[in-house]
Structure 1
């Protein structure tokens, strides 16, 4: 049984922290996740609706989001992208989508 926040909540926190380090304050709606599988990996696709005041820090962070290191215990963030954006009244409304895969870094008892 999983305790504590799940991967989607942790990913949302990592995204918000990454934006804050870049000087941008983003507001994320609760994320949604759908299971994802390939022949060799198991994970999930995550989506977040977000908004933030427009400006240089936000623009710079959004431009670099695909190269941002987002720590996520037990998972690897394989891809992050901005898939929609619309500016309205000094706010940018955007959608963040990410693909995570479960990490296989388990420690065997010695």
Structure 2
């Protein structure tokens, strides 16, 4: 029986939907996820390299990403931080680290 998409796929989908809603051209260049668990929670740590447009809206979207609501079925985005950016002539590359917690 299939369980549905894993946490990594859900994070990617949530970021794509958020960027599209903001009118921001975004592509995920690379993504990885590592499962983790504590005594009370289980989830995953995510590292994503994104490329967004170089316009003001794209930079604003990246700047607000840490506070954004990113709904995902069966997961809670516990933390989402842009840890590095590189500004190019036409785009901005950003490394995003996120922590998801299973809710179901």
Q: Does TM, scored on the shorter chain, surpass 0.5?
A: yes
Q: Which residue of 2 aligns with 1:68?
A: 68
Any conservation in 1 of the 2:52–2:92 contact (CA below 8 Å)?
yes
User: Partners of 2:23 and 2:6 in 1: how far apart?
Assistant: 26
Provide TM-score, normalisation by structure 2.
Answer: 0.89
Larger radius of gyration: 1
Higher strand proportion (structure 1 or 2)? 2
Which portions of structure 1, spanning 4 or more consecutive aligned residues, are displaced by more than 6 angstroms? Answer: none
| Residue correspondences, number | 104
Q: In the TM superposition, what are the counterparts of 1:1-110 in structure 2 within 5 Å?
A: 2-104=2-104
**Unpaired stretches in structure 2, ≥5 consecutive residues:** none
- What TM-score do the two structures reach when normalised by structure 1? 0.85
Deviations 1:21-77 (A, max 9, x none): 112111113421001222311110011111111111111111211111111111111
Contact 1:9–1:31 at 8 Å: present in 2 too? Answer: no
Unaligned runs of 5+ in 1: 105-110
